Amino acid sequence: MTEESSQTKGRSRIKMLSTGLLTGVVAAMFMTLVLLLLRYLFGTATPSELVGDRIAPLLGVDRFLELLNRFGGYNNLKQIGVMSVIGGQLVVGAIGGLLYALVVERVRAKQRAVHTGHLFVVILVALLWLVSLILLWPVLGTSFVGLPPTTGALANALGLLAAYALYGVSLVVLYRTMSARAASAAGDEQAREMQPVARRTMLVAGVGAVFALAAAGILSRLYKLASFSYDGTRYKGADVQAITPNDRFYVVTKNVVDPDVTRSLWRLDITGLVERSQVYRFEDLVATPSVTQETTLRCISNQVGDGLMSNALWKGVPMKTLIEAAGPKPGVVEVRLHGVDNYTDTFAIEKAMEPTTLVVYEMNGEMIPPRHGVPVRVIVPGLFGEKNVKWVTRIELVDHDAKGFYEQQGWGPNFVVPTTARFDVPDDKQKIKMAVAGLALKGVAHAGNRGVSKVEVSADDGKTWSEAKIDHAQSPLAWILWSYDWRPAQAGEYKLMVRATDGKGELQTEKERGTAPEGATGYHKITAQIEA
């Protein structure tokens, strides 16, 4: 082989690999666009969401919190996760393009390029699909429009297959467009070589740009629907009301884009260890005898004195009614709840059978807002918010200690909310003018389903305590609002503390601990600057 022919062969190989790389990336962009369109139009889950939900429960709680701190919070972590998976899709697509080019060009001289190339694409698509199903199977039942888990899994599987198949078809078409095969001057049909055409390269690159712009447009629309603007909403401050307005109720969600459930598609299944599996449409649930109760929810991530806590009037059906209609079998230990977003959580069957554990469809006299679980969520007084599953679609009775989404990370095992009290007025380190008539200290206290019997305030860093006035205490399942008329003797800096005693007479613990793994405890402490 001459040096010139060797160089020519090397250039041809580089051109061939470049062609495969470009067509693979463009085909992957098209696949990404299809996946995003399916998510936007039909609520099928994207790999970005499924991969995140698959990995998150497997992270230890310490690792999870480390990542939150490293990336600046849950919202940033979600966005990085989404973009990482999309980037991975493009890398896998590019590798597929390279492999396709190698296969096609290796057999081209044997005139089997077309059939071999098609066979390779079929195998590649089937392999990608099967690997995706195996890896994502535990979360494949996610449906952001409210399909039952089995139907949701089928819809997601078909959506992935359609996207991967279109990737394969576009890979073949684009590679052919990029490649010109011409017979040699001697007319030898066996001697064919790659002849990339500049105009075709620009055309395919332009198509890729269109796909990328279209995908960016859909991403932008999904971003506007995303939970980033409200995830982590807190309710705290001077204007706190006994009943939290729906639009100010605290929010914590694992989702990038929360479900937008179509009520006609939604069903609630009572299944597992039952004599008679039950299926409820929304109309069936509303027709079942209901109750209304005031209940406060608090997030396990709520720091002492923080605002991840809110109170509402909930209307719904006791879970006990639904379970008894299904006929629980002997040996049931827990109920495992499933949300349409594939969130799961559990609690003891004894807790499920308490009359205050509800399956609710109204919040403060209105339909539950989308971000709070429309059409139906669960309310479990006394347990942290993560147990109060939103968008619930299945109540499963099991005979073992099952683990929910965050339990698998290592949260718990105790999810009973501890007694807590906080200041809402004044703010920490707030400068306040001396007042002859006294200064109003205000706040809330909460003890799960045990009620609050007393709140005490200290203005001398815990040396002495004075009992505060309870202004709102309508339900033992809810928080109370308290106030105290404080009359500082002179100007200066004061260390204020507050503590509560629950309805059973047990004083709130002074022991300080962080949120992980069982929720924060300790007294809320602030500094007040009194000026003459």
| Whether pLDDT at 59 is above 80 | yes
Please compute Rg for the chain using Cα positions. Answer: 30
Task: Please check whether residue 220 lies inside any domain of the structure.
Answer: yes
- If pLDDT is split at 50, 70 and 90, which confidence band does 159 have? very high
Tell me what the mean pLDDT of segment 246-255 comes to: 98
Residues 366 and 484 in one domain: no
Q: What is the pLDDT of residues 115-152, one digit of tens each?
A: 788 899 999 999 999 999 999 999 999 999 999 999 99
Residues 82 and 12 in one domain: yes
| Whether pLDDT at 341 is above 90 | yes
SS3 label, residue 148: coil
Residues 383 and 496 in one domain: no
Sheet containing 439-446: order of strands: 420-425, 439-446, 480-486, 469-472
Give me the number of domains the chain comprises. 3
How confident is the model at residue 178, as a pLDDT?
80
Residues 389 and 431 in one domain: no
Residues 374 and 439 in one domain: no
Decide which of 409, 434, 465 is a domain's last residue: 409
Q: What is the CATH number of the domain that holds 426?
A: 2.60.40.650
Q: What is the pLDDT of residues 289-306, one digit of tens each?
A: 999 999 999 999 999 999
Task: Please check whether residue 170 lies inside any domain of the structure.
Answer: yes
How confident is the model at residue 176, as a pLDDT?
87
Q: What is the pLDDT of residues 399-413, one digit of tens each?
A: 999 999 999 999 999
Residues 156 and 203 in one domain: yes
Decide which of 409, 436, 463 is a domain's last residue: 409
313 compared with 105, residue with greater pLDDT: 313
Give the predicted TM-score (pTM) of the model.
0.91
- Pairwise CA distance, residues 488 & 401, whole Å: 53
| Whether pLDDT at 179 is above 90 | no
Residues 398 and 486 in one domain: no
pLDDT averaged over the chain? 92
Q: What is the pLDDT of residues 445-474, one digit of tens each?
A: 999 999 999 999 999 999 999 999 999 999
Q: What is the pLDDT of residues 479-522, one digit of tens each?
A: 999 999 999 989 999 999 999 999 999 999 999 999 999 999 99
Tell me what the mean pLDDT of segment 183-191 comes to: 38
Task: Please check whether residue 232 lies inside any domain of the structure.
Answer: no
First to last CA, the chain: 98
Task: Please check whether residue 318 lies inside any domain of the structure.
Answer: yes
Residues 403 and 433 in one domain: no
Residues 396 and 430 in one domain: no
Task: Please check whether residue 35 lies inside any domain of the structure.
Answer: yes
What are the residue ranges of helices labelled H in 261-355? 282-287, 319-326, 349-352
Q: What is the pLDDT of residues 219-247, one digit of tens each?
A: 999 999 999 999 999 999 999 999 999 99
How confident is the model at residue 111, as a pLDDT?
59
Tell me what the mean pLDDT of segment 57-85 comes to: 95
Residue numbers of the domain that contains 153 = 3-225
Task: Please check whether residue 133 lies inside any domain of the structure.
Answer: yes
Residues 347 and 393 in one domain: yes
440 compared with 3, residue with greater pLDDT: 440
| Whether pLDDT at 182 is above 50 | no
Residues 390 and 426 in one domain: no
Strand positions, DSSP E, 370-479:
377-379, 392-398, 420-425, 430-433, 439-446, 452-458, 466-467, 469-472
Q: What is the CATH number of the domain that holds 377?
A: 3.90.420.10
Task: Please check whether residue 454 lies inside any domain of the structure.
Answer: yes
- Pairwise CA distance, residues 1 & 7, whole Å: 10
| Whether pLDDT at 5 is above 90 | no
Residues 334 and 475 in one domain: no
Both tokens assigned to 106: 């290796």
Task: Please check whether residue 207 lies inside any domain of the structure.
Answer: yes
Tell me what the mean pLDDT of segment 161-172 comes to: 97
Decide which of 225, 258, 274 is a domain's last residue: 225
How confident is the model at residue 194, as a pLDDT?
43
Amino acid at 276: R
- Pairwise CA distance, residues 140 & 393, whole Å: 15
| Whether pLDDT at 183 is above 60 | no
| Whether pLDDT at 196 is above 50 | no
Strand partners for 106: none
In sign, the C-alpha dihedral spanning 500, 502, 505, 508 is: negative
- Pairwise CA distance, residues 518 & 424, whole Å: 24
